Amino acid sequence: MKTLTLLGSTGSIGRQTLDVVRHAEGELKIHALAAAKNVKLMEEQARLFNPAVVVMMDEGAVRELRGRLRDLPIKVDQGMEGIINSVTAPQIDTVVTALSGRIGLEPTLAAIEAGKTIALANKETLVAGGDLVMSSAKKKNCKILPVDSEHSAIFQCLEEESKTIEKIILTASGGPFFGWTKEKLGTVTLEKALRHPNWEMGAKITIDSSTMMNKGLEVIEAHHLFNIEYDGIEVLIHPQSVVHSMVEYCDGSVLAQLGRPDMRLPIQYALSYPTRWKNPFERLNLRGKTLTFHEPDFEAFPALAMAYQAGRQGGTLPAVMNAANEVAVSAFLQKKVSYLGIHDIVGNVCSEHHVLDNMDLESILDADTWARRRAEEHIARLEARCSNRKDC
Ligand SMILES: NC(=O)C1=CN([C@@H]2O[C@H](COP(=O)(O)OP(=O)(O)OC[C@H]3O[C@@H](n4cnc5c(N)ncnc54)[C@H](OP(=O)(O)O)[C@@H]3O)[C@@H](O)[C@H]2O)C=CC1
Ligand SMILES: CC(=O)[C@@H](O)[C@H](O)COP(=O)(O)O
Ligand SMILES: [Mn+2]
């Protein structure tokens, strides 16, 4: 039996991970659950899965949850210290990282330091600190098993001899605005952008999918996970999200992994690896299905090109791009900036940054803090300009 700490249990990946645990019949046990502030759902999860520890980032949430769980022998911890304790606990072997955003970096590094296996959903961690995370994992001989559907697909298509890989083909749904021109993208509303055609996900990743920044982050994630140069990572639009990604070998043979758009499959594989478990989840039925593939439009969706450039340049630039994007997407979700404003903010912050090659944790966090502040300044400027006009 594997014992888990699940970071981000109240989110989309977190809830689906708990569904996998429920179906895994004695294979998986929960030691700790962590989230930010969703006390109501955390109470339900604690009562169902009986963890030893639950952690809430928010101070008020901790107080409320302690009250709600006072009839149970469950420890309620708080903040980053609580999260770090939950991922380094001697009882656990695996940490599922399903927090949203760069906040996942420090717990992932702490878990690696403590020798835990990482089932990694939280792609922003690898975008911000990929070199550091991968070199720490190598030193500690820790496994980082991908949960992201494309990376799980690639992982499942890998053969022993990785030197014979010629390229990775990352598929992308294209999001709700596939085929739209730059002009038409100017009319996007929050409600439209939150409607992903194939996947039900948290708000931040749903917006990233619509701008194609999600695919950009995934290109950087793939570079680190599979140690492949950017020239060997290709993005292909596949609006049906059935082929989750492909690997092309030096003899021209292409291996692909297919499945329904259901994150429980890659989550379960990261937890069952190196074996596979049966489950009752609905199966893929290809009868009558048409699968299509298209070139991405780098002009209408400049986030993808920006991520390739940030990944290629490396150093602190990917961390800066990621941080600016987190702030800009959050502002869009609060209707403070327009859809196209997201790209302007991220682009401006990236071009103002003096890239450092020093990739220790302190440099990454400093760059992240700087980028968040600059992004906030750009948002304030856009808001001020907008408040003086009627057409914003
Ligand atoms: N959803 C999906 O299908 C996929 C997601 N991913 C990646 O997985 C990660 C999670 O995505 P998703 O599940 O969609 O996101 P959600 O927004 O649905 O969930 C995020 C989770 O993280 C918690 N959280 C957020 N901020 C903090 C914080 N500062 N401290 C502690 N906990 C925090 C939230 O708690 P609370 O609810 O209390 O706010 C929630 O439990 C992302 O990195 C995403 O890119 C990758 C592939 C697919
Ligand atoms: C489910 C998953 O892995 C998401 O990252 C998904 O890939 C998002 O869809 P896009 O291909 O539209 O970015
Ligand atoms: Mn993905």
3-state secondary structure 217-254: HHHHHHHHHHCCCHHHEEEEECCCCCEEEEEEECCCCE
Buried b (16+ CB within 10 A) or exposed e, 111-131: bbbbebbbbbbbbbbbbbbbb
Give the ligand with the smallest distance to the CA of 13. Answer: 1
For 283-286, which contacts have Cβ atoms below 8 Å and span 24 or more sequence positions? 284/242, 284/258, 284/259, 284/260, 286/242, 286/258
Structure tokens at 128: 């911000």
pLDDT digits (tens, 9 = 90+) for 67-104: 999 999 999 999 999 999 999 999 999 999 999 999 99
> How far away, in angstroms, is 90 Cα from ligand 3 center?
31
Closest by Cα among 147, 145, 207, 151 to 175: 207
Closest CA to 258 of 289, 221, 222: 289
Query: For the purposes of burial, counting CB atoms within 10 Å of the CB of 163, is it exposed (0-12), middle (13-18) or buried (19 or more)?
Result: exposed
Ligand nearest to the CA of 261: 2
Q: Read out DSSP for 302-354?
A: HHHHHHHHHHHH-TTHHHHHHHHHHHHHHHHHTTSS-HHHHHHHHHHHHHH--
Which protein residues are within 6 Å of ligand 1, measured from CB? Answer: 8-14, 35-38, 57, 98-100, 103, 121-124, 148, 199, 201-202, 204-205, 263
278 alpha carbon – ligand 3 mean position (Å): 23
The segment(s) of the chain belonging to CATH 1.10.1740.10 are 314-392
pLDDT tens digits, 242-286: 999 999 999 999 999 999 999 999 999 999 999 999 999 999 999
Would you state the CATH architecture of domain 314-392? Orthogonal Bundle (1.10)
Element (H, E) at 166: strand 165-172
Q: Whose CA is nearest to atom 2 of ligand 2?
A: 149
Give residue 259's Cα distance to chain centre: 19
Q: Given ligand 2 and candidates 15, 201, 207, which is best to mutate, with the most ligand atoms within 8 Å of its CB?
A: 201
The answer, as to whether pTM is greater than 0.95, is yes
Note down pLDDT in tens along the chain; length 392 residues. 999 999 999 999 999 999 999 999 899 999 999 999 999 999 999 999 999 999 999 999 999 999 999 999 999 999 999 999 999 999 999 999 999 999 999 999 999 999 999 999 999 999 999 999 999 999 999 999 999 999 999 999 998 767 789 999 999 999 999 999 999 999 999 999 999 999 999 999 999 999 999 999 999 999 999 999 999 999 999 999 999 999 999 999 999 999 999 999 999 999 999 999 999 999 999 999 999 999 999 999 999 999 999 999 999 999 999 999 999 999 999 999 999 999 999 999 999 999 999 789 999 999 999 999 999 999 999 888 877 665 56
| Cβ–Cβ under 8 Å, residues 245 and 151 | yes
Q: How far is the CA of 205 from the centre of ligand 1 (A)?
A: 9
Residue 112 identity: I
Query: For residue 10, which atom of ligand 1 is closest to its CA?
Result: 41
Q: Cα(148)–Cα(171) distance, rounded to whole angstroms?
A: 12
- Please give the structure tokens belonging to residue 97: 């990282």
- Helices and strands of the chain, counted as H and E runs: 16, 11
What's the CA gap between 342 and 326, in Å, rounded? 10
Listed as own residue / partner, the contacts of 365-369 with beta carbons closer than 8 Å and 24 or more positions apart are 367/316, 367/319, 367/320, 367/323, 368/102, 368/128, 368/319, 368/320, 368/322, 368/323, 369/323
- Every domain of the chain with CATH number 3.40.50.720 lies at 2-146
Nearest ligand to the CA atom of 193:
2
Ligand 1 centroid from CA 101, angstroms: 7
Answer yes or no: are the C-beta atoms of 96 and 3 closer than 8 Å.
no
What whole-number distance in Å separates Cα of residue 168 and Cα of residue 218? 12
ipTM rounded to 2 decimals: 0.99
Cα 89 to Cα 97: distance, rounded to the nearest angstrom: 15
| CATH superfamily entry for domain 2-146 | NAD(P)-binding Rossmann-like Domain (3.40.50.720)
Burial of 316 per CB tally in 10 Å (0-12, 13-18, 19+) = buried
Note whether 139 and 112 are within 8 A (CB): no
Ligand 2 centroid vs 56 CA: distance in angstroms? 27
Pocket test for ligand 2, best of 127, 152, 205, 206 (most atoms within 8 A of CB): 205
